[in-house]
Amino acid sequence: MTEFSYQARVYYEHTDAGGVVYHGKYVNFFDQARTEWIRSHGLQQSIMREQANVLLVVRAMNIDYLRPAKLDDVLMISCRILEHSAVKMIIGQEIKVDSQLIATAKVTVVSVHAERFKPMRFPQKYLQLLLTK
């Protein structure tokens, strides 16, 4: 499956007292990249909710911090589907600085009904879009 890349810059607000990106901010960077990955396929989560009553929620996330990101670094954040079923996707993500791997994540995303917050089948038309391109 194809890989999507998203670029972000480290700002002062992302850093901790040690001058490196605070560990919790990596979750935000990974989330931004997944959101832009969805948008790159012509989808928006707000429209998916309106049209199909579906939300994509993170069920689990495992992050490996390999090297620190620092102020003014340009991050390249990638996304690709590793596995999928009718209800969930496992997405592999990486953050690189100057082609050096600094963090990886394995994210389990499930589709839930927007009103009941119960698992539901991910609409096939959306899944097909995410699996192509």
Residues labelled catalytic: 16
- Round to whole Å and give the CA distance between 34 and 83: 15
- Round to whole Å and give the CA distance between 38 and 86: 17
Which of these, 24, 18, 115, lies nearest to 61 by C-alpha position? 24
Q: What is the dihedral of CA 23, 27, 30, 36, to 10 degrees?
A: -140
Q: Which two tokens stand for residue 51?
A: 């049209």
Q: Which two tokens stand for residue 42?
A: 């012509």
103 neighbors 64 (Cβ within 8 angstroms): yes
